[in-house]
Amino acid sequence: MDRLQALETALEKIVLDPQYHDVLTLVKGIRNGIVYGTKVRFPHAVVMIFLFRSGSFRSKCWLVFKATRQHARNLGLFALVYKSCMLLLRHTSPTSSERHYDSFIAGLLGGYTVFGRTIHNSVSQQIVIYVFARVMLALAKIAVQPRAAGELKGGGGGLGGLGLIQNEGLRREVVRNAWPAFASLSWAMVMYVFRWHPETVQSSLRSSMSYIYVQSDHWDSLRTFIWHNK
């Protein structure tokens, strides 16, 4: 017990030592990426695979494991590449501090390394599409947000927007109507594509949409109408 306690004390001394902080941030980033990827993907994979995929219980469990492992691996590896690049760029900076474009370069390298080379991986595609949608929404807000609305403090603040719309009344109208327009057009486009070009829709989305909008057109008894879909 004394040896175990001594080992714990020694390890804690190491993790709290400032000289090891930069390296340990990489370890913690990998850990957090793996944990978050597992938490996000596992319940989603269980629902989608067990509800919409055919096959044995064993094969479905294997698919859940593969999807969860892929998501966790992607986020953990991206955290490693991104944070490593940020450290390298910071240490090569003339002022030894982060520059405005460092996060863009680090994200570019991480995105290519982890996601850009896996074209046909559905998990990677879903992550990238999710990120893309969030970025588009953020850019729309930046476009109409007034300039210098805040200061960047530890990643929690902001640098203000582009201020493309100077008239405050017009800006409020754009902000108020942007989301309804975006949501409406998004659903209009996805339903059109699913109706006329279903082979181009991502497989899990296509399966869920087929279940709701196509299979609901067919039944042959009260049992298949209410209780069983087929």
Query: What average pLDDT does the segment 20-24 reach?
Result: 93
Lowest mean pLDDT among 129-138, 145-154, 198-207, 208-217: 145-154
| 3-class SS string, 43-63 | HHHHHHHHHHCCCCHHHHHHH
How many other C-beta atoms can be found within 10 angstroms of the C-beta atom of residue 17? Answer: 10
Residue 89 sits at the vertex; the CA angle it makes with 87 and 92, to the nearest 5 degrees, is 105
| pLDDT at site 195 | 95
Q: Which residue has the higher pLDDT, 129 or 162?
A: 129
Per residue in 163-188, pLDDT tens?
888 888 888 898 889 889 988 999 89
Residue 178 sits at the vertex; the CA angle it makes with 177 and 180, to the nearest 5 degrees, is 70
How many whole angstroms separate alpha carbon 105 and alpha carbon 89? 9
How many other C-beta atoms can be found within 10 angstroms of the C-beta atom of residue 42? Answer: 17
pLDDT band at 156 (very low <50, low <70, confident <90, very high): low
Q: Which residue has the higher pLDDT, 163 or 191?
A: 191
Lowest mean pLDDT among 94-98, 160-164, 173-177: 160-164
| pLDDT at site 154 | 46
Residue 132 in this model has a pLDDT that exceeds 60: yes
Q: Domain boundaries in the chain? A: 1-117, 120-182, 197-230
Residue 3 in this model has a pLDDT that exceeds 70: yes
Q: Which residue has the higher pLDDT, 158 or 82?
A: 82
pLDDT band at 120 (very low <50, low <70, confident <90, very high): confident
Residue 162 in this model has a pLDDT that exceeds 90: no
Question: Which residues is 147 bridged to in the sheet?
Answer: 160
| pLDDT at site 184 | 92
pTM for the model stands at 0.80
How many whole angstroms separate alpha carbon 135 and alpha carbon 225? 41
